Amino acid sequence: MLIVMRHGASPEEVSAVVEAIEQQNMRPHLYRGEERIVIAVVGKAPASTLVPVSPAAAGRLNPELLRAMPGVDRLLPIARPYKLASREFIPENTRFRLGRVEVGSENVLIIAGPCSVESRSQIMETAQAVCEAGAHALRGGAYKPRTSPYSFQGMGEEGLELLAEAGKKYGLPIVTEVMAPEQVPQVCRYADVLQIGARNMQNFNLLNAAGSSQQPVLLKRGPSATIEDLLMSAEYLLAQGNRRVMLCERGIRTFENATRNTTDINAVPVLQQLTHLPVLLDPSHSTGEASLVEAIARAGVAAGADGLIIEVHPDPGYALSDGQQSLTPEQFARLIYSIRAVAQAVHRTVA
């Protein structure tokens, strides 16, 4: 349910409504819009904050009482199952700062780097190259979800240290995957953005842990997940009070096997209609093939993506993971050049 406050409702009136919600052990989520304050009431409060209420009143809100409170304009239901992620709750795009760009603004965010951190020289060289080409953030996996247990599993904490060192040297925020709830505190010490990978999109314990860390999160769509599944997973992050969430289309599994995955380009504008969260495209995983990455990156920006995440490796032929879809630094620099032209054509920029 949405409680829409009157234009100019006083802070005391807002606090009284928030308190009334908390008194019923429900959790209020406040949004300060340009015009007015809207309070979403979804689900129960966390166990740690429960107040004693009579069993009959617990978890129930009396709409008549709320509607009659000073400063309340009207109550509205939220039709979508993803409440906090929906545009019904927040009509404006979510924006937040990441390094030198504002995610969700007209500026298209470019995240680039290797699939995996492999060595100090590899990550340093890549960071320098992507920085010089104009990337805004550095990606690299230290914990890798691999299909085979015999494949390279990542460098772990050593990889995180190297990423942080490279990020600091080149002034790039770090985006890296976290695979388990227990890893969240450690990864938060090194990373600016927690990546939740496609295979973990519905790992609800991980979503809760990443959400409650309050660190920005990049949530990738599962290869077999519907758009609604993705938004419901985002809802877990938002329900923990974490507002800095980005979504990422990274290709889905279809009957087509000419490419590693099928880029669901529809997902970009569909998501943007349904949610206020920034929507990124990962043309590296969605195609699986370096020679296709630039074309699909351009398509993503043309379709309105708020950002791209792209795999770059100094020597893709020797990469320990995803070499086939990794661009060389030269290819990445060319991609940025052509993305700038497409961005301009759709009234966006690549700062």
Cβ 284 to Mn ion, closest distance in Å? 7
Q: Spell out a b/e string for 61-88, using b for 16 or more CB atoms within 10 Å of the CB, else e.
A: beeeebeeeebbeebeebebebbbbbeb
Window 304 to 323, contacts with Mn ion (CB under 5 A)? 322
Distance (Å, whole) CA 235 – CA 221? 13
Q: Two tokens at 99?
A: 């390094």
Which one among 20, 115, 234, 301 touches Mn ion, defined by CB under 5 A?
115
Is residue 179 within 8 Å of residue 142, measured between CB atoms? no
Distance (Å, whole) CA 57 – CA 131? 56
Site string for Mn ion, 233-272 (x = CB under 5 A): ----------------------------------------
Window 156 to 215, contacts with ligand PEP (CB under 6 A)? 197-199
Which one among 27, 136, 250, 313 touches ligand PEP, defined by CB under 6 A?
250
Cβ 115 to Mn ion, closest distance in Å? 3
Taking CB within 5 to 8 Å according to partner kind, which of Mn ion, ligand PEP, none is near residue 197?
Answer: ligand PEP
Which one among 115, 162, 179, 219 touches ligand PEP, defined by CB under 6 A?
115
Cβ 251 to ligand PEP, closest distance in Å? 8
260 forms part of the interface with ligand PEP (CB under 6 A): no
In the block, which residue shows the tokens 């009431």?
41
Q: Which positions lie near ligand PEP, rule CB under 6 A?
A: 115, 141, 145, 197-199, 220, 250, 282, 285
Q: Which positions lie near Mn ion, rule CB under 5 A?
A: 115, 322
